[in-house]
Chains A and B, each alone.
Chain A
Amino acid sequence: DAGITQSPRYKITETGRQVTLMCHQTWSHSYMFWYRQDLGHGLRLIYYSAAADITDKGEVPDGYVVSRSKTENFPLTLESATRSQTSVYFCASSERRRDYRAFFGPGTRLTVL
Chain B
Amino acid sequence: QQQVKQSPQSLIVQKGGISIINCAYENTAFDYFPWYQQFPGKGPALLIAIRPDVSEKKEGRFTISFNKSAKQFSLHIMDSQPGDSATYFCAASIPGYGNKLVFGAGTILRVKS
> Which residues of A come within 8 Å of B, CB atoms?
30-31, 33, 35, 40-45, 48, 50, 58-59, 90, 92, 94, 96, 100-107
Contacts and interface: CB of A to CB of B under 8 A. Distances in A.
B98 A104 contact: no
13 contacts: A41-B105, A45-B101, A48-B98, A59-B2, A59-B102, A94-B98, A100-B49, A100-B99, A100-B101, A101-B46, A102-B46, A104-B43, A104-B44
A107 to B, nearest CB: 5
B73 interface: no
Interface string B19-42: 000000000000010101000011
Contacts of A100: 32, 34, 49, 93, 98-99, 101
B98 A43 contact: no
Given A90-B44, A100-B32, A106-B43, A43 B99 contact: no
Interface residues of B, number: 25
Contact of A45 (B34, B44, B45, B100): B100
Contacts of A59: 2, 102
Interface string B79-102: 000000000010001000111111
Contacts of B104: 42
A48 B100 contact: yes
Residue among B32, B41, B98, B104 facing the most chain A CB atoms (10 A cut-off): B98
A106 B43 CA distance: 5
A90 B105 CA distance: 15
